[in-house]
Amino acid sequence: MWLDLANDRWEAVRVTENGWEIVAEPTARFRRPKNMAALPRPGTGGRIETLRRFVNVGTAQQWILLVAWVLGVLYGTGPYPMLVLLGEQGSAKSTLARVLRHLLDPVHKAPTRRLPNNEQELLVSAVHSAMLAFDNVSNISSAISDALCRIATGAGTSTRQLYSDAEEFVIGVVRPICLNGIEEFIRRPDLLDRCIVLRLPSITPEVRRAERIFWSQFNDVLPEILGAFLTSVSVGLRNLPQVHLERSPRMADFARWIVACEPALPWNQGEFLNAYEANIADATQVGIESSASAQALLVFMQSNERWRGEATELLRLLQPFSTEGRVLPASGQALSQALRRVAPLLRSHRGIEITFGIREGQQGTRLIEIVRRLTQTDTAFSDPRQR
């Protein structure tokens, strides 16, 4: 693996399974956008734990997931889980995002930016950055949500080439993404399924540091922190061919990579997968609870082991089970679209299997079939109206 230090001497770090070294004349080729700033020359003898003094994570589980995300970025090969930082005003969300930017992809101006309103702006940012960091996010449109998913997983996007009518311009880019905000701004299940969500605790006035002192202290130890992470990357490269997961969570390549690095990390082996799966389960719960259609369907299926029929009929049957203040889709077609998005979460975490597009009869009417795999007494099917 090569890491461009982006300094005037054109130095890069070469990382192998035997360690890492700074190379004066790297054989790899790098592209340097105008806003790219230099990384520090990594130092030896550092510890990853030093980083914890400069990040506001409240639990050991959050610390594990944060370190894992950094290592995923340093590996340089997606797909990447998106890092979502939530917390009240003053919980150092923006500071944490800037710390990560300094460690992974420093820039001359605007380390964190507003989330663009259109996909083209987002793609331009992705092309010219090794990491994307968006600040104070409060809402994400459906189009931007889809675009973020594509950038995190590396799916290509095409558009008409400038000054032409028939030529196509294709952008294929995969980038790690960090988003922060106060409230739960991600509600689309397909986007939540790709996220690591950290809820940051508030910071008391007694422990809050002045900006000048904070960044001076951080920059003093940044070379050693970067060197410690690169040492873990080297261990991961050595172990990766032997790693086989008994259970593969979402973003399985990322999980396998972190397990390979785990012998060099400041926790016991196996703790990462436990933390990651717990985080996925928490995000899944948010995704299901944010969907009025999913909530109504869970209650409806308490008394049905199997149901088959048209989407319009299903919408009529779900109306009595909609929770107060939560509006179901206006049509059968809209209900089908809503259920398609949440179907993977319902299948993997609630035992509800939904099959779309079943044809029946001479006219080929398209039906939906829903099967409940769990028992009625399972707590997963508790009525949300009674919480």
For residue 379, what are the domain limits? Answer: 291-386
Structure tokens at 177: 């993404």
Residues 307 and 261 in one domain: no
Question: Which CATH number characterizes residue 318's domain?
Answer: 1.10.10
Backbone angles phi, psi at 363, to 5 degrees: -80, -5
The pLDDT value recorded for residue 155 is 63
Backbone angles phi, psi at 367, to 5 degrees: -120, 160
Residues 315 and 248 in one domain: no
Please name every residue paired with 354 in a beta bridge, in sequence order, or none if there are none: 370
Domain termination site, one of 244, 260, 285: 285
User: Which whole-number Å values give the CA distances from 296 to 158, 213, 268, 342, 343, in the listed order?
Assistant: 38, 52, 41, 12, 13
Q: State pTM to two decimals.
A: 0.85
Domain termination site, one of 270, 285, 300: 285
Residues 47 and 135 in one domain: yes
Residues in the chain: 387
Instruction: Please give the tally of structural domains in the chain.
Output: 2
Does a structural domain hold residue 8? no
Domain termination site, one of 268, 285, 302: 285
The pLDDT value recorded for residue 241 is 96
| Mean pLDDT over the full length of the chain | 88
Does a structural domain hold residue 263? yes
Q: What percent of the chain has pLDDT over 90?
A: 63
Q: Each residue of 98-139: pLDDT tens digit?
A: 999 999 999 999 899 999 988 888 888 888 899 999 999 988
The pLDDT value recorded for residue 385 is 41
